[in-house]
Chains A and B, each alone.
Chain A
């Protein structure tokens, strides 16, 4: 176990949720369960329809061959694992799925899932690739179209009241993740980065009420725990898809402390708190479109960079670890862009390419150790 990890039953419960290819909480749900593939999909709309939303992953998929049949070895292993999970029946409890034009890999995973799975419902959202205000109405239209499509397929009415209730519930989830994030930002920290990622991944899988209950326990246990000692260096973890706390665990096992993240399944992808109100779809659209931008958003690197700098300074980090799944193209100019900025404002950075589902702990350990040494830690 990593130093300072909270030894509590609650973490075991959260880990059980995220490590399972078929989480009990979803399987036992009395509501229809619908999977979604991207952080630009507001699960609040599903919740307001009486649907259990679950973020699709490839957890527990050791063999992606059915995904590889339709995609290829030149595609992202996350997309291949998710496709395999759906086609192999690990998601046979789903009533449907919703995809987004996140990237080419996810688009093609969606093509394979639509063509080859027997899921009853397939939703789709085209999310603009720029923050320019004139594109906002398109996203609102897309969310309204999704709402109508869910209403038609599931025979429900999604009311403004129900949307506002869902927004409030999800804001509570965000609040708990923020509090956990604050605990790991402390110096010395009260919780490690791996456990925060475990929590934020679980937040995408569990019903919000259940997650909030467990998160409150975890926050209380962490507050009472001894601070994490013997940290060699505080780092931040950035980049693309990462839903595997084992990867963070490996980094922290070398003495680093992941004091902050900007990850899709971490704190970045949960988005900002949503303002409930008279037009909840518009509120959701505003919060989700203008979240800290994923690299799929064009021309928004400066905002992402500034957010990263603020995080880096805010958590008193000494280094940056950038990770990316091999073959991911939308994140592929990020290292170039960061290095370009670092020419005038040097910051230490370690770049790690990875495959989904594999931790390669030996290689990662060596590279993280070398990085920490280069920091003089």
Chain B
């Protein structure tokens, strides 16, 4: 299917076609309001991106830990997270395309042990799915795989200027100011290479939009913490998607608002869509390659995920737009301390464990599921301390290895087996005996 009446790479056309088909399906579903609006806004973003490409507008590439507000504030500049095509193919396109990108990256010497989001990104770059960038931004959050993919991305476009943002592993004012200072440096870099002047009034509007998005996300989290949870589990990871591509845009705000209003209406209507038996905090990566797994968990096991690490949006994200300094400080703080994963992965295990305990309590969970994306070396590296903390708190924890974008690592049936055994043989009997932590 042509995108904006023009033929594109088949992979993009498949994403476009599937999104439009899914919108049609979910529009007809009374429960599907939030998903419909989410998909519509993803479609609008893609349409806008291709319109910019067609008009010859500059495009900036970046990696997973960066947020695009400064790019939006330039006006008329395309923003591409290089993991975008792999992620979209997996979630709303053809999973086989994502796995092809992964294979391409590995065939070009990119290590199999890196994150599949980044392997997919590299495969997409090598395959030529993205328009040439005028410049690139690389950030070392949330993990080493980002360090690696920035290096690979920079080499693939080794004539294109790269700006590196260095985020220290600390959680303090000095760190936020250090990152804010780098955002200050980034502005003339972006201006020079995009040929656009950053408009501070436009940046203020972008940040106002981000702030509204933040407020909607906090409302959404509060509604999702109600037990029973009234919105499908599969929607809880969408904060991450929103932060990477849409934060500061009307698309992001629309998605956050739809998520919040959808669950508010469902809670207020009191109509339950599934019989909730067990609530789990899904810690680590979603099963992007088949998010219908969450439907299966709800219908077959009564297992609900009220919140996961990709959905959790920490309550420190409001940007003070009163001055240039406060804007940059707010953007920096939000990027390193609210961006899912960057918040939990870049420092010590203390934050990682504390956030889990907070979510477990706030969302009245019965247990935790550590969905161990095999490339997440930071979380696997802290698994012993995490298990100890859960044991001490009396929280049952399922830990398994899988890959969030590659279905070949842990097959669907095995995944179902691991989860159902945990719920049926451990959590439900313990819950029945009243042995759960609360």
State the A residues within 8 Å of B (CB).
69-72, 74-76, 79, 101, 103-105, 107-112, 114-115, 126, 128-130, 132, 134-135, 138, 295-296, 298-299, 301-302, 324, 326-330, 332-341, 351
Kindly count the residue-residue contacts between A and B in the assembled complex, taking CB atoms under 8 Å apart.
Answer: 161
Is B169 an interface residue when CB atoms closer than 8 A count as contact?
yes
State the B residues within 8 Å of A (CB).
105, 108-111, 113-114, 122, 138, 140, 143-145, 147-152, 154-156, 158, 162, 164, 166, 168-170, 178, 181-182, 185, 345, 348-349, 372, 374-375, 377-378, 380-385, 401
* Chain A residues, Cβ within 8 Å of B140: 129, 298
* Chain A residues, Cβ within 8 Å of B162: 299
Question: Which 3 interchain pairs have the tightest Cβ spacing?
Answer: A108-B381, A332-B111, A70-B384
Q: How far is the CB of B7 from chain A (nearest CB, A)?
A: 29
* Chain B residues, Cβ within 8 Å of A104: 143-144, 345, 377-378, 381
Establish whether residues B152 and A337, one from each chain, have CB atoms under 8 Å apart when the complex forms: yes
Establish whether residues B148 and A332, one from each chain, have CB atoms under 8 Å apart when the complex forms: yes
* Chain B residues, Cβ within 8 Å of A328: 113
Among B138, B377, B401, find the residue whose CB has the most chain A CB atoms closer than 10 A.
B377
Establish whether residues A336 and B383, one from each chain, have CB atoms under 8 Å apart when the complex forms: no
* Chain B residues, Cβ within 8 Å of A338: 109
Establish whether residues A108 and B185, one from each chain, have CB atoms under 8 Å apart when the complex forms: no
* Chain A residues, Cβ within 8 Å of B169: 101, 107, 126
Establish whether residues A105 and B377, one from each chain, have CB atoms under 8 Å apart when the complex forms: yes
Q: How far is the CA of A104 from the CA of B142 in the complex (A)?
A: 10
Closest to B169 in A: A101
Establish whether residues B166 and A333, one from each chain, have CB atoms under 8 Å apart when the complex forms: no
Q: How far is the CB of A1 from chain B (nearest CB, A)?
A: 35
Establish whether residues A330 and B348, one from each chain, have CB atoms under 8 Å apart when the complex forms: no
Q: How far is the CB of B222 from chain A (nearest CB, A)?
A: 32
Establish whether residues A329 and B114, one from each chain, have CB atoms under 8 Å apart when the complex forms: yes
Given contact pairs A74-B374, A335-B111, A340-B156, A298 touches B380 in the complex (Cβ within 8 A) = no
Establish whether residues B385 and A327, one from each chain, have CB atoms under 8 Å apart when the complex forms: no
Given contact pairs A135-B166, A301-B155, A74 touches B380 in the complex (Cβ within 8 A) = yes
Establish whether residues B170 and A330, one from each chain, have CB atoms under 8 Å apart when the complex forms: no
Establish whether residues B151 and A329, one from each chain, have CB atoms under 8 Å apart when the complex forms: no
Among B105, B151, B169, B182, find the residue whose CB has the most chain A CB atoms closer than 10 A.
B151
* Chain A residues, Cβ within 8 Å of B111: 324, 329, 332-333, 335-336
* Chain A residues, Cβ within 8 Å of B380: 71-72, 74-75
Q: How far is the CA of A103 from the CA of B147 in the complex (A)?
A: 9
Among B108, B147, B156, find the residue whose CB has the most chain A CB atoms closer than 10 A.
B147
Residue among B108, B114, B349 making CB contact with A108, cutoff 8 Å:
B349
Given contact pairs A74-B377, A337-B155, A108 touches B113 in the complex (Cβ within 8 A) = no
Closest to A126 in B: B168
Q: How far is the CA of A341 from the CA of B377 in the complex (A)?
A: 28
* Chain B residues, Cβ within 8 Å of A74: 372, 374, 377, 380, 401
Given contact pairs A126-B168, A302-B158, A295 touches B151 in the complex (Cβ within 8 A) = yes
Q: How far is the CA of A83 from the CA of B370 in the complex (A)?
A: 23
Residue among B138, B150, B166 making CB contact with A128, cutoff 8 Å:
B166
Q: How far is the CA of A105 from the CA of B114 in the complex (A)?
A: 13
Establish whether residues B151 and A327, one from each chain, have CB atoms under 8 Å apart when the complex forms: no
* Chain B residues, Cβ within 8 Å of A332: 110-111, 113-114, 145, 148
* Chain A residues, Cβ within 8 Å of B144: 103-105, 329-330
* Chain B residues, Cβ within 8 Å of A339: 108-109
9 more contacts with CB within 8 A, not counting A74-B377, A332-B110, are A71-B381, A72-B383, A104-B143, A105-B377, A108-B349, A111-B381, A112-B382, A129-B147, A339-B108
Q: How far is the CB of B403 from chain A (nearest CB, A)?
A: 11
Q: How far is the CB of A334 from chain B (nearest CB, A)?
A: 8
- Write 13 A-B pairs (CB below 8 A) sorted by A numbering: A70-B385, A74-B374, A107-B378, A111-B349, A112-B382, A132-B164, A298-B138, A299-B162, A329-B377, A333-B155, A336-B122, A336-B152, A340-B109
Establish whether residues A112 and B113, one from each chain, have CB atoms under 8 Å apart when the complex forms: no
Closest to A295 in B: B151
Closest to A132 in B: B164
Establish whether residues A299 and B164, one from each chain, have CB atoms under 8 Å apart when the complex forms: yes
Establish whether residues B151 and A299, one from each chain, have CB atoms under 8 Å apart when the complex forms: yes
Establish whether residues A129 and B166, one from each chain, have CB atoms under 8 Å apart when the complex forms: yes
* Chain B residues, Cβ within 8 Å of A132: 164, 185
Given contact pairs A104-B143, A129-B140, A333 touches B381 in the complex (Cβ within 8 A) = no
Establish whether residues B151 and A333, one from each chain, have CB atoms under 8 Å apart when the complex forms: yes
